[in-house]
A = this chain, B = another copy of it.
Amino acid sequence: MSAPDFSSLRIGLLGSGRVANHLGPALAAAGHHVAFVWSRTAPVAAALAARLPDAQVLTTLASPLPPADLYLLAVPDAAVAPLLATTAWPAGALVAHLAGALPLAVFEAQPAVRGGVFYPLQTFSPGRELDWPTVPFCIEANDLAAETTLLNLAGSLSQHVRRLDSAQRLKLHVAAVFANNFTNHLLGIADALLAEAELPAELLAPLVRETVDKALANPPFAVQTGPAARRDAPTLAAHQAALAAHPAWQDLYERLTASIQTQL
């Protein structure tokens, strides 16, 4: 394999889910060549490949893979180790996974490849455009050349690229679960309570926007407000009563209140 031109990589994309569907076209738009898309499900791979110039469709990884400067594993976390073990990798192939919670050490079981991590810290949803230049990329690799290739690739998409070790990345991923998945769930509970009161969901939008603007401009613990923070027992009791139909949310309310109070 010739030394890759850093300004344009030939990429093999393994996976055709949400991340692959966002990342593939972004890589092509940045001037890279997505040489193939692999998926177990041919029509899914074909649909993504159709959005990428000159991309081949693969439905098996048993025969030797087409050559590429980099193979990206855009698959569920649990699929990474099996894919690494069972794919017919070209010797010395550079392979990177995209997972926040998987250590670089996952590559130790497959000495035929050079391993790396190419982790975009963002939530990917069908039909929502991403602003790639703002997406932070977290890079880690087993050798300097691999690291350089991944840093340059990330730099061709985003203005926010950094090296992170596996322990830092795991902690960042946990933080992202609190900031994204759990926050979304709380907004879902709020949405459900509004629906019960026959109120429109938009009613909370200005409050949610101001909450987030304030929390991003200040240390959130330092600007905590509300009945928990001011230990307002009558209001806390009124809220528990208002949640009587939802014992699970009562419990969550109680525990979040207690957690806020340990930070005062």
Q: In the assembly, what is the distance between CA of A185 and CA of B221, in Å?
A: 7
Residue of B nearest to A196 (CB): B171
Chain B residue numbers with a CB within 8 Å of A258 are 248
Chain B residue numbers with a CB within 8 Å of A109 are none
Given contacts A125-B214, A175-B190, A177-B227, contact A256 B262 (CB under 8 A): no
Q: Which of A24-32, A52-60, A90-98, A130-138 contacts B (4 or more CB under 8 A)?
A: A130-138
Q: In the assembly, what is the distance between CA of A65 and CA of B192, in Å?
A: 43
Partner of A203, one of B76, B172, B178, B191: B172
Are B192 and A180 neighbours in the complex by a CB distance under 8 Å? no
Are B173 and A239 neighbours in the complex by a CB distance under 8 Å? yes
Chain B residue numbers with a CB within 8 Å of A220 are 184-185, 187-188, 191
| A interface residues, tally (CB under 8 Å) | 92
A1 within 8 A of B: no
Q: In the assembly, what is the distance between CA of A251 and CA of B254, in Å?
A: 12
Q: In the assembly, what is the distance between CA of A201 and CA of B251, in Å?
A: 29
A179 within 8 A of B: yes
Chain B residue numbers with a CB within 8 Å of A202 are 216
Partner of A208, one of B76, B191, B216, B253: B216
Q: In the assembly, what is the distance between CA of A251 and CA of B243, in Å?
A: 21
Are A184 and B215 neighbours in the complex by a CB distance under 8 Å? yes
Chain B residue numbers with a CB within 8 Å of A186 are 178-179, 182-183, 186
A145 within 8 A of B: no
A8 within 8 A of B: no
Q: In the assembly, what is the distance between CA of A260 and CA of B184, in Å?
A: 10
In chain A, positions 106-157 with a C-beta closer than 8 Å to chain B are 121-123, 125, 128, 130-131, 134-136
In chain A, positions 233-253 with a C-beta closer than 8 Å to chain B are 234-235, 238-239, 242-243, 248-249, 251-253
Q: In the assembly, what is the distance between CA of A243 and CA of B249, in Å?
A: 23
Taking A122-B207, A174-B243 as known contacts, 5 extra A-B pairs with beta carbons closer than 8 A to each other, sorted by chain A number, are A121-B207, A180-B225, A181-B228, A183-B215, A191-B219
